[in-house]
Amino acid sequence: MNNIKKIGLTALAGSLVASSAMAAAVTASGSSSIGLTQVSGTQTTQSTNAPLGGNGWSMGNSVTFSGSGEMDNGMTVSISFELDAGAADGTKSPFDSHSIKVDTNGLGTITFAGHGGSTVMDNWDDMTPNAFEEVWDVTDNNGAATNDGGGNNSFFYSNSLDMGVNIYASYTNQSAGMVESYQDWGVSYTGIEGLTIGYAEGENKQTAAAFDEQSTMYLTYAYGPVTVGYQTAESDVQGGATSDADTLIYGISYAVNDDLSVSYGVHEYEYGDTSAVDQESSGVSISYTMGSISISGALNETDNVGGESATQEDGYYVSMGFSF
C-alpha cells in the first residue's frame, strides 16, 4: 500500500457536530490478475456466464483510493473510490465501487455506497469455508438462493455488542425496477472460540406479484488448521411457488501452512418447480500465497444443471494475482 499524501481537512458535520477539524491520510492500493477459465457441458440450454470453449483468458485490475480522519468527538469518517476498467459506474464515470463510512465510536458503523453497495443477504450468500471459489461458481448453474437487493445509493449498518453478538442491517431506497424499498437484517454470534453462527432474512419486492421473502442460517467452526461449515437458505416467492428455491451447502477447508490452503464443498439447489430436478455441485479449491503474489485454482462440477435432468457441467478456473 502506498501513502500518496496527507491533507488537512475541516469538516462540517451538520447534526453530528458543529465544527471539527480532522487530519486525513489518503492512500492507494491496487491489484491485478490473470485468469484462465474453461467449462464443458452437456445441457441443451447454456448461458454466457462462463466461456464454454474458446479463449477463456481474462485480466482483472483495480486501484482503490481511501481516506479517513477522526473528529474531535471520536467519530471516524472514511471514503473509498475504486478505479476498475472493467466495471465502471456508468459510461461517463471512471469509478466503480465508491462509499462513505462513518464509525460512530460506540454505536456501530454506517456505510453509504454510491455504487457497489451490498446487503446482509448478499454478503452471506455462501459462508462455508473455501480456499478460492464457491463450489457453485465457475460452472454455468444456479447458485445462491438468497443474494438479492443492494445496488447504488444504499445503506449498510453493523455493530458488535457484548458477549460476541453482532448485528447487521441494510436498506436500499425504491428505484427503477423495484415496487418497494429493499431492507434486510442479520445477527451473528462469535462468543465461543472458533464458532460462528448467523441468521439473516430480507424481502425483495421487485414485482408486485412476486415478493421474494428470503432467509439463511449458517454455522462455521474452526479448530486449528481445519474449518468446517454448514448453511441452509430459502427463497419463498409469493404468488409463484414454482419460483421458490432451497439450498444446502457444506464444506471443509484445511490450512496446510500460512501460505497454502485447500478446500472441498458441496452445494445442493432444490427447485420449487416440481418439473425441475435438484441440482448438485461439488468442487475443490486451492490457494498459495507468496508475499504479494497469489496462485489459486478451482475445479468444480455440476449435475442436473439448471434443473435439467441427466446433464453435467465441469469447469476450472486458475488465477495468478498481484497486489500492491
Task: Supply the mean pLDDT for the chain.
Answer: 83
Domain map (residue ranges) of the chain: 2-323
pLDDT in tens, 288-305: 999 999 999 999 999 998
Given a cut of 50, whether residue 18 has pLDDT beyond it is no
* Local confidence band at 137 (pLDDT 50, 70, 90 cut-offs): confident
**Over the stretch 161-215, which tens digit does the pLDDT of each residue have?**
989 999 999 998 877 666 788 899 999 999 999 999 999 999 877 666 667 889 9
What pLDDT score does 93 carry?
A: 64
- pTM value? 0.83
Between 11 and 82, residue with greater pLDDT: 82
Model pLDDT, residue 54: 52
The C-alpha atoms of residue 182 and residue 149 are separated, in whole angstroms, by: 6
Reported for 188-197, long-range contacts at CB under 8 A and 24+ positions apart, including other chains, are 189/164, 189/165, 190/164, 190/166, 191/163, 191/164, 191/165, 192/164, 194/221, 194/222, 194/223, 195/219, 195/220, 195/221, 196/127, 196/220, 196/221
What is the mean predicted confidence (pLDDT) over 114-132?
Answer: 91
CA angle 266, 250, 309 (to 5 degrees): 35
Q: How many CA atoms lie within 13 A of 99 on its CB side?
A: 19
**Confidence class for position 80, pLDDT limits 50, 70, 90:** very high
Query: Among 34, 38, 36, which Cα is nearest to 300's?
Result: 38
CATH of 2-323, one of 3.40.50.300, 3.40.50.150, 2.40.160.10, 3.90.1150.30: 2.40.160.10
What is the model's pLDDT at position 43? 63
> Is residue 12's pLDDT more than 50?
no
Give 101's pLDDT tier (boundaries 50, 70, 90): very high
Confidence of residue 10 (pLDDT cuts 50, 70, 90): very low
Note the pLDDT of residue 5. 37
Q: Kindly state the percentage of the chain with pLDDT values over 90.
A: 52
